[in-house]
Structure 1
């Protein structure tokens, strides 16, 4: 029996995370470690993916993390994410990262990212996810351009598989 899934609005998967940037979060330039930002991005994106499908998920890929502006010690970092597109068992999640100077109120977009998550059933196998419904102009724009990103993802994955075959460590006796 096939499970009938109702489509969900993008805003239903929206997640927001805010935090103050402290000295241990920063590098020698007194800006936030890129790796820490990436961990925050993966975390908030997973929450959005799980809200959308109400199942456990795994990160399948990160298309890119585009760092646009530095995030300084003392700033607030705010991440917002939501599911922008779905396939059979996978979901594309968009994340934007905004820094705010808490003394002046100035806010600036610091990073954007697209990630893909796969929903899992109780046996850790991929399982169907609901379709997504865009409502706002921003959501519509992301939804309409998703097929282009999905095609680029497929091509990049094929290239990664070629590299994996070529560079996969061999056992010493297979040389």
Structure 2
């Protein structure tokens, strides 16, 4: 991927994590537990953020996790994480989780959320991150909307 000195493209750090839903990941109904799914989404988001920043990244917030559909034991889960915007020391990562039955060829969205990560230096202090340059129309739309999501998050803390 192309790495430039003053920005990186979203594709540079785009991450895909694949899991199989095992019995220990499910509730008594055989459905994937939401907490287990969020844990996997957080890991994919962390890999994306840390790859973009070339620094350790820690989760600062998770913006409204939506659970759209259930996944069952044996389903294959694909989690896609892509950076939408880098701020001074933080990064917003958009994460989508898809499931598919082993014998089916169609995947379906089970969850999505925006994660915010803060880059840390070797002393554990927040450190600046390189900018993101969106390329596609969707990336540009998410990049522009990221500031509203950030301001919304900040206003809820007050």
Note whether the superposition's TM-score is higher than 0.5: yes
What corresponds to 2:68 in structure 1?
Answer: 68
Task: Provide TM-score, normalisation by structure 2.
Answer: 0.93
> Whole-Å Cα distance in 1 between the matches of residues 105 and 18 of structure 2?
15
Q: Which runs of 4+ in 1 moved over 2 A?
A: none
Report SS of the residue matched to 1:11. Answer: helix
Counterpart position of 2:84: 84
Q: In structure 2, what is the equivalent of residue 47 of structure 1?
A: 47
Q: Provide the secondary structure at the position in 1 that maps to 2:147.
A: helix
Structure 2: 5+ residue stretches without partners: none
> What is the CA deviation profile of residues 45-73 of structure 1, one whole-angstrom value per residue up to 9, with x for unaligned ones?
01000000100111111112110111111
User: CA separation in 2, counterparts of 1:25 and 1:57?
Assistant: 26
Structure 1 Cα separation of the partners of residues 101 and 36 of structure 2: 19
Find the residue that maps to 1:145 and give its secondary structure: helix
In 2, Cα distance between the equivalents of 1:75 and 1:44?
Answer: 18
The normalised TM-score by structure 1 is 0.85
CA distance in 2, matches of 1:122, 1:22: 37
Instruction: State the Cα distance separating 1:91 from its structure 2 match.
Output: 0.4
Correspondence list, 1:103-142, <5 A: 103-142=103-142
Which 5+ residue runs of structure 1 have no aligned equivalent?
Answer: 159-175
